[in-house]
Structure 1
Amino acid sequence: MSTHYLALDIGSTTVVAIVIDLDTNAVVGTASAANSSEVTSATDKRIGRSEWDLDAMTELAIENATALVARTNARPAAIGVTGQQQGLQLLDAALNAVGPYFSWQDQRAQEPLPGQQHTYLDAMAQQGGSITTEGEMPAFANTGCPLVAGHAAPHLFWLQANNQLPSGVSGTTAPEFVVSRLVGKRPVVDPTDALGWGVYDVTKQAWADELIADLGLDQSLFPDLVESCTMAGSLTTAMAQKLGVPAGLPVAVASGDHQCSFAGTVADYANTVAVNVGTGGQAALHIEAPLPRGSLELRPYIQRGYLLAGVGAVGGRTFRTLRDFFADAIYALADVQPDSEALYERLVSLAADVPAGAEGVRADPLFSGSRSRPRAKAAFRELTAATLTAGHLTRALLEGMAVELADSYREAIRLGGGARSKLVGAGNGIKLNPVLRAALEAEFAMPLHMGSHGEEAAVGAALCAAVADGAFGSIAEASAAFASG
């Protein structure tokens, strides 16, 4: 019997495939490809829209996985899938994509209604009876998160308000769409991804039916809920031929990339705080029962429990904003287009030459606000003529990011999540940045342990497939056996 498990991670920037081996507790191989399936027009990009061809994205993910299977000669026992949470793809009755995929980055729900001052999101919040605190984002009761434009339900609300929601369609998100294509069945969703619709009741572990009705949305738009780490179906013959694996291979239900990253990184759930920095960033604790979430999110975990998490305030895109500023300045002043990756490395190197504390320079890194402070702006403070340098600005920004992530942990403790004795990091934003690693250790007052496997979300998805296949009794057991953090 094979001990190999294949997983696909459908990310915003890249699509990733991974094969793990349970016998050796090792990653057999990984492959990645740039996600080139965006179809947003230049005009729409300028107003914050983000549209993608999800069939092309799926084909890209399959081609990437096919190359990995061929290179490793893997014979997986089952397949797992994870990927970007939130977003929306409409499907017709024959499961064909209707229109483009609106990604989690799409902000059309923040556009003002025609001839009015308030936005579609404001109207949705009012219509659904949201709980609103001055200066914070609205939130529906028991949904575990604030109401944000990238959720699937706001996309549906916008489409309906603009008479662009065809009859007879249903909705899905990217990971579930890929699973649907692999098994040839209608998409289903587990609790970890259902949260990203914005209308899932985390306490009842069910769709918030009354809220959905109040918003004027039809229940048929929403996929059926299923348990995590169960089988969605069997790999179709056509997909098996593309991948170079046997037809009928079990395919697990998709789970959210944040939860999968936790599963693929953290071996000891009870004693660990996990920090992940990719395009976004999260600091999370695993808890067994719901708690008041404050300004954090209460995200259903795989199979049981929750992640109490600070989400989205800072991440890789925060550092990218500063890098882009310097790239634009270099181009404007010297008519030279610097290499983006080389510029990242140079900025980190310059920051490493600046003492911890950035000689008094402080950064508020909220270029895009935060879930609790959506109107917040970024700022650099306490600058002098001697400290107005690329190294000081970079060091201060990275230390400010660490403060934001550690503040999430401190709030989780205040809410009753419990202090933890171990700090585990994941994501290239941490792995490739020694200055950020040092800043995190200083702010969390703990040594930082990095997971040894890499591509943690894909590892977690592979472990979900292994649990669904019966190799482990639970995802917690799988993490304890395979994860290194």
Structure 2
Amino acid sequence: MGHVIGIDASTTATKAVLVDEAGAVVGIAAAEYGFDQPRPLWSEQDPGLWWDGSVAAVREVLRTTGTDPTGVAAIGLTGQMHGLVLLDAAGDVLRPAILWNDQRTGAECDAIRSALGPRRLVEITGNDALTGFTAPKLVWVRDHEPDVWRRVAHVLLPKDYVRLRLTGDYAMDKADGAGTLLFDLAARDWSPEVLAALRIDPAWMAPTFEGPEVTGTVSAEAATETGLRAGTPVVAGGGDQSANAVGVGAVVPGRMALSLGTSGVVFATTDRPLFEPAGRVHAFCHAVPARWHMMSVMLSAAGSLRWFRDAVAPGVPFGDLADAAAEAPAGSDGLLFLPYLSGERSPYPDPLARGAFVGLTLAHDRRHLTRAVMEGVAFGLRDGLDLMVTAGMAAPDQIRASGGGTASPLWRQVLADVLGAEIATVSTTEGAAYGAGLLAAVGAGWFPTVEAAADAAVVATPVAAPGPDAPRYAAWHATYRDLYPALSPSFRRLA
């Protein structure tokens, strides 16, 4: 039986997942590394770590599974989005990569809005200028590191540096490209207007490909390092969010993905480019050809529950905490929680937003507070979903949930009630790396389309549906939505 490999170059590790022709995960290996924060708000990483991690993970997954590399039909790539990798004409790295979580570029975001006009920027790219995106990082280098700027010949994203080392080719997928803030969302390629406005040479930008398209093959040098067969096809892949959506089967309109990890992401596939006029939710190309997606991002989702546990009930297992919360009634006896512990991105792109419990009384105990945290996170996710629906997205039929928070039956039910859709879990837990593997399977010719691959390989199991509490949650959500506008001035005075 043949195999494909999905490689995920994330912020803290590179993972390699070996997948067989039936879509089953055969083996997993990972290599960990760190990143640097040389100054406040800065976040950087040596691109060589991604390549070294890829070499180690691929060699390990081949070794532990006893897989003959001649049977590996294709490689798919994914990884952290938005990171800026600058190379000279020889392909050498000019400076450490500036990562997605780097916050130095507030002034550059303002400059980008001024250069294009806020409305025109969203019309072209589908997004407002945020510090996480790639374009503000490029503008920062242009204005602060002229010696580096003069030597730039190529601009890549993290996983595409791995591609360069693997194949020798400069290439990028359209989903990850759309996350740079340099893409024409409707045209699914680089925007001449944006590049010109920001004084970025179009020749620096790599050719773009659809997720399952082959961009090159493993070079002889890379084969020696990784143990792969020289000539193995490498497909474009996708950024981590779009690849994760492929991995859970969220590849058609009406089937949504929800990631409930430290942050919370609501990901909706669309059949045409849609954007929210104020840019409060993201709009990107999907790794699925001729599909796009909208995405809302909550910065503290399961992270809110972790904070609460560590602050109030240190050492208590999350499962025990959640089980006890089920003893509190829906609505937590009038207690609401704002989950803006790290600021927020959707629906309020506000770094000064803060968390809050509202409605506390002497009758509330730890069970109520725990449930209120779960409900507050669900309400925040609903805010993002509502923005996407207002922008023209169809309401979801099913939400495929992943991440540590979805292990709680109570939280799954709260999500179903608040979001108004069936919640399902899926048969695999390898997320983006698995999705990259499925894209490789399509590129290898095992499946005719990404949709066919996902339907064949991903098994979804419904675990919760909207229940009798759903109408009451709708009323509580309306009260929840009043809180941020009322408290925002106080947040600013406290910052």
Q: In the TM superposition, what is the alpha-carbon distance from 1:384 to its structure 2 partner? A: 1.6
1:30 counterpart (25, 28, 31) = 28
Structure-1 residue corresponding to 2:123: 141
1:359 aligns with 2:341: no
1:96 counterpart (89, 92, 104) = 92
1:379 aligns with 2:356: yes
User: What is the letter of the counterpart of residue 38 of structure 1?
Assistant: F
1:40 aligns with 2:37: yes
2:157 counterpart (173, 193, 197) = 173
Structure-2 residue corresponding to 1:335: none
Aligned partners of 1:279 and 1:238: how far apart in 2? 38
Is the partner of 1:81 in helix, strand or coil? strand
Identity of aligned residues (%): 28
Report 1:92-241 matches (<5 A): 92-110=88-106, 119-131=107-119, 139-164=121-146, 165-169=148-152, 170-185=154-169, 187-241=170-224
Aligned partners of 2:439 and 2:55: how far apart in 1? 19
Aligned partners of 2:238 and 2:161: how far apart in 1? 12
Aligned partners of 1:14 and 1:292: how far apart in 2? 32
Structure-2 residue corresponding to 1:334: none
Task: Calculate the TM-score normalised by the size of structure 1.
Answer: 0.85
Structure-2 residue corresponding to 1:263: 246
Unaligned runs of 5+ in 2: 461-495
Aligned partners of 1:54 and 1:343: how far apart in 2? 37
User: What is the letter of the counterpart of residue 36 of structure 2?
Assistant: V
CA 344–54 in structure 1, closer or farther in 2 if over 3 Å, else same: farther
Aligned partners of 1:95 and 1:299: how far apart in 2? 28
Q: Are the equivalent residues in 2 in contact too, given 1:37–1:57 (CA < 8 A)?
A: no
Q: In the TM superposition, what is the alpha-carbon distance from 1:405 to its structure 2 partner? A: 1.9
User: What is the letter of the counterpart of residue 166 of structure 2?
Assistant: L
Aligned partners of 2:425 and 2:292: how far apart in 1? 19
Task: Calculate the TM-score normalised by the size of structure 2.
Answer: 0.84
Q: Are the equivalent residues in 2 in contact too, given 1:257–1:457 (CA < 8 A)?
A: yes
Aligned partners of 1:307 and 1:409: how far apart in 2? 16
What is the Cα-based RMSD across aligned positions, in Å? 2.5
CA 438–163 in structure 1, closer or farther in 2 if over 3 Å, else same: same
CA 472–13 in structure 1, closer or farther in 2 if over 3 Å, else same: same
Aligned partners of 1:128 and 1:90: how far apart in 2? 24
Q: Deviations over 1:147-196 (max 9, x none)?
A: 111111100101111134332312211111111111122x3112101111
Q: Deviations over 1:426-459 (max 9, x none)?
A: 23342x3444322212212333210111112111
Aligned residues: 450
CA 460–299 in structure 1, closer or farther in 2 if over 3 Å, else same: same
User: What is the letter of the counterpart of residue 141 of structure 2?
Assistant: L
Is the partner of 1:97 in helix, strand or coil? coil
CA 268–107 in structure 1, closer or farther in 2 if over 3 Å, else same: closer
Aligned partners of 1:325 and 1:418: how far apart in 2? 34
Q: Deviations over 1:288-329 (max 9, x none)?
A: 122343433222112434444232224xx4433553466478
Aligned partners of 2:282 and 2:434: how far apart in 1? 23
Q: Are the equivalent residues in 1 in contact too, given 2:304–2:339 (CA < 8 A)?
A: no
Q: Deviations over 1:226-249 (max 9, x none)?
A: 333111211123332333332221
Aligned partners of 1:421 and 1:327: how far apart in 2? 35
Unaligned runs of 5+ in 1: 111-118, 133-138, 331-337
2:82 counterpart (79, 83, 86) = 86
Structure-1 residue corresponding to 2:281: 296
CA 438–62 in structure 1, closer or farther in 2 if over 3 Å, else same: farther
User: What is the letter of the counterpart of residue 357 of structure 2?
Assistant: F
Is the partner of 1:269 in helix, strand or coil? coil
Q: Are the equivalent residues in 1 in contact too, given 2:80–2:100 (CA < 8 A)?
A: yes
Structure-2 residue corresponding to 1:476: 451
CA 350–64 in structure 1, closer or farther in 2 if over 3 Å, else same: farther
Q: In the TM superposition, what is the alpha-carbon distance from 1:484 to its structure 2 partner? A: 1.7
